[in-house]
Amino acid sequence: MKISRLASFCSKARGTAGRFRRDKRGVTTIEFAFILGPFLAITLGTMEVAMVHLMRSSVSNAVEGASRPIYTGAAGCATVESVKALICERIGMQNATKCDANLKVILEELDEFDGQRTAADANFDDIDNFVESGSAESTMLLRTYYRWNILFPMLSEAMGGEDGTLLVTASTAFTNEPFGSDTGCTS
């Protein structure tokens, strides 16, 4: 009796398996489920990389644009706040409050390009803002460090960031114009 039950069960299982094998109605759904994860990962990763490159370009252009009023003397006596304001108004992707909180600047006068710079740590929180206006016709170096929050944290490590953030840096060197004052400030 047990053998006939087993044979009956096996016969029914074979029939069900055969029907399942011939039925093609759910194949598209299953294929879509397999493809959806990698497709979203590639799409979101591409968007994140594009946003980071756009931000790097934006910060670099902002630093170049902000340096002009400094080296012409039009910015007046440069302070940390004024330099940050010059840069933040040129970064189009952030509001002023968020930009100011995520931006560190170091503006210093160089005697020559000898490699001696104010130290800047790789950790954003350990970087100290420092601004020195410089005198007329002095060589200046403006370095900026912007903390960018990565949208997709699983890409953070692959992009060189830590804790869901990436440090975007930009710098420019310039010579102050002879703006008529030795202190670097004009009225």
Distances (CA, A) of 178 to 71, 80, 115, 136, 181: 9, 22, 25, 5, 8
In the predicted structure, residue 26 carries a pLDDT above the cut 80: no
Q: How crowded is residue 43: how many other Cβ atoms within 10 Å of its Cβ?
A: 10
Q: How would you list the strands of the sheet with 103-110, edge to edge?
A: 130-131, 103-110, 139-149, 165-175
Do 141 and 104 form a contact (C-beta atoms < 8 A)?
Answer: no
Q: What is the pLDDT of residue 187?
A: 44
Between CA 119 and CA 20 the distance in angstroms is: 69
Q: What is the pLDDT of residue 12?
A: 79
Find the range with the poorest average confidence among 33-42, 65-74, 116-125, 136-145. Answer: 116-125
Q: What is the pLDDT of residue 87?
A: 92
pLDDT digits (tens, 9 = 90+) for 125-159: 888 888 887 778 888 899 999 988 888 777 766 67
- pLDDT over 70, % of the chain: 81
Q: What is the pLDDT of residue 180?
A: 62
Q: Which domain holds residue 146?
A: 28-175
Do 146 and 129 form a contact (C-beta atoms < 8 A)?
Answer: no
Do 105 and 143 form a contact (C-beta atoms < 8 A)?
Answer: yes
- The torsion angles phi and psi of 104, rounded to 5 degrees, stand at -125, 140
pLDDT digits (tens, 9 = 90+) for 85-128: 999 998 877 777 788 899 999 998 887 666 566 666 678 888 88
Q: What is the pLDDT of residue 76?
A: 75
Q: Which two tokens stand for residue 80?
A: 């940390």
For 66-134, the DSSP string reads HHHHHHHSTT-S--HHHHHHHHHTT-TTS-HHHHHHTEEEEEEEESSSSS------SSGGGPPPEE---
In the predicted structure, residue 183 carries a pLDDT above the cut 60: no
- The torsion angles phi and psi of 126, rounded to 5 degrees, stand at -95, -5
Does 138 map to a domain?
yes
The total domain count for the chain is: 1
Does 3 map to a domain?
no
Does 16 map to a domain?
no
